[in-house]
Chains A and B, each alone.
Chain A
Amino acid sequence: MGYKKTVKKYNGTINKVTLGTGEKAFEIGGRNVMPFYKFDGEAGEQAKVGIEISDEPASSWSEAFAELYKEAGDDTAAWAKLVEEKYAPDFICLRFDGADPNGKNKSVEECVEVAKKVADEISVPLVVAGSKNDEKDSEVFQKIAEALQGKNILILSAKEENYKAVGAAGALAYNQKISAESSVDINLAKQLNILLGQLGVKKESVIMDIGSAAVGYGFEYVTSTMDRILLASLGQNDDTLQMPIITPISFDVWSVKEALATEADEPAWGNQIERGIHMEVSTAVSCLVSGSDAVIVRHPKSLETVKKFIEKLS
């Protein structure tokens, strides 16, 4: 008996969302099959990989990163430029660690200034992330959305606590893209999308950050949440969950012990920065095969590896 190829057809399709402007702008989404299942149907846009930079100097991460980016010194815009020119990520994620009121508590004006300089130096799309203080992030996001009008940036993220302010300013007033963050809670993921919709934000302006975890740190919850989302969005054609997914895996990966322990602490574990890269690559590719349409990594070696992985499978 001959081999009969079966295909799995779904009713739903992931929305396409455009980030950035000009030649380096790109779309994500557009898939009506499981990730990379191009043999089943339309695999959509190729998944994208961005690099994380910070408004704080690279030395705040580790000596290894300070060494890697030493040419840029403490200038965030120069750092962004160096990353784009040397490593060619699909996008750059600028994270405002320094805005945290419990840390350096940089003013909103300072943050806007940095964001403008970075945006001027790069041509790839810009993703702006906050300090994880919801109130401060709302203020920073609103002002940055205004200052970078026309750049089509992604704001990472609107949460249950601040979606109104972030959604209204980011997407409605200044036409930027919004990520809806739901920390591995599938019902909240759907609810936030509904709430943003009720606020008047168009579906084409929303991406989901459904939460993440480094592999080995509860990642099974991340992957099962993504599975359930795809079952609803593709299988049940649930249009409140057909937003593409972005996962900032670097936010979690570099704070677990495999990445933090020095070689003096754990002599048997080998080179510290390589451990971080291994964790980052494992987490990023796991997210991509589970349903992420874009991931954010920190190390250029991770970027290179993950991009190669995507190209081979696409």
Chain B
Amino acid sequence: MDKFMVIGERIHCISPAIRSAIAERNLEPIFKRAKEQLDAGAHYLDVNIGPAEKDGEEVMQWIVQAIQNEFDNVPLVLDTANKKAIEAGIKVYNRSKGKPIVNSADAGDRIDNINLAAANDAMTIALCAKEGIPRDNDERMMFCQEMLERGMEAGMDPEDMLFDPLFLVVKGMQEKQVEVLEAIAMISEMGLKSTGGLSNISNGAPKELRPTMDAVMIAMSIQSGLTSAIVNPCDKLLMDTIKTCDIILGKTLYADSYLEL
């Protein structure tokens, strides 16, 4: 069994520092965040360049090459609604440390991203949703099945698909939380891999509560079978929780300094 895979979420154009860095083609703030996340133990880095309708292809190629050159071909998650930009990014991507991951496909308008991933021998995140939030787990699993079939028809190895159950905010959708955990368990029982934007769950909660909420949710999700997540690796409590889950599940061998690795 593989260790839990940590995808760093902090290179995201929603952050003003990253947005202006992309606009000005200034690598320094991007490298700073990449380094912080890798030092904190991220395995993959998500690179969100926003919708990037105008110059997406050029931006994606620039950022993929720059980050991979600077950080020993770190594997990346290519995150944008612009399909051409994702394809352009994959063209210049170095696979020596892992395949590129397309972020993301869903069971609705973006289902073609599965074919895009398949055609380019990439992995993809497959969001179990069509329009908005799935009504219940019957619907979630139907979407999961649809995307799995689409992937297999396109010749994808199911191992290359990371199914996202869609984490939901606790404050406002408290009654949906157990359902999400059950969806993770069902995905896991099908032998499939999973991921998701974990910090959704603590959105809107006071800042001091968020690390605790995220850490507990990740532990419960891992116990349900979650195999990776898109998180802020600089959150120490969260990372310590993930590392301890790996220890308890026997995915890494214990040593007194395991949290320092």
A residues lining the B interface (CB < 8 Å):
186-188, 190-191, 194-195, 198, 228, 232, 236, 238, 240-241
Contact = CB atoms under 8 A, between A and B. Distances in A.
> Chain B contact residues: over half helix, strand or loop, or mixed?
loop
B169 to A, nearest CB: 35
A238 B253 CA distance: 8
Interface in B1-55: 3
Closest 8 CB pairs of A and B: A190-B255, A191-B255, A232-B253, A194-B257, A191-B256, A187-B254, A187-B255, A190-B253
A228 B252 CA distance: 11
> Chain A contact residues: over half helix, strand or loop, or mixed?
helix
Contact of B255 (A194, A228, A236): A194
B91 to A, nearest CB: 27
Contacts, number: 31
Interface of B: 3, 251-257, 260-261
Contacts of B251: 236
A186 B253 contact: yes
Nearest to A189: B255
Contact of B256 (A187, A228, A232): A187
Most A-side CB within 10 Å, residue of B3, B251, B261 = B261
A151 B257 CA distance: 33
Contacts of A190: 253-255
A194 B260 contact: yes
Most B-side CB within 10 Å, residue of A198, A238, A241 = A238
A240 B256 contact: no
A240 B261 contact: yes
Contacts of A232: 252-253
Nearest to B2: A236
A241 B253 contact: yes
Contacts of A191: 255-257
B145 to A, nearest CB: 30
A235 to B, nearest CB: 9
Nearest to A195: B257
Contacts of A187: 253-256
Contacts of B261: 194, 240
Contacts of A240: 255, 261
Nearest to B246: A236
Contacts of B3: 236
Contacts of A228: 253
A242 to B, nearest CB: 12
A82 B60 CA distance: 67
Contacts of A198: 257, 260
A238 B257 contact: no
B6 to A, nearest CB: 15
15 contacts: A187-B254, A187-B256, A188-B255, A190-B253, A194-B255, A194-B260, A198-B257, A198-B260, A232-B253, A236-B251, A236-B252, A238-B252, A240-B255, A240-B261, A241-B253
A222 to B, nearest CB: 17
Contacts of B255: 187-188, 190-191, 194, 240
Contacts of B252: 232, 236, 238
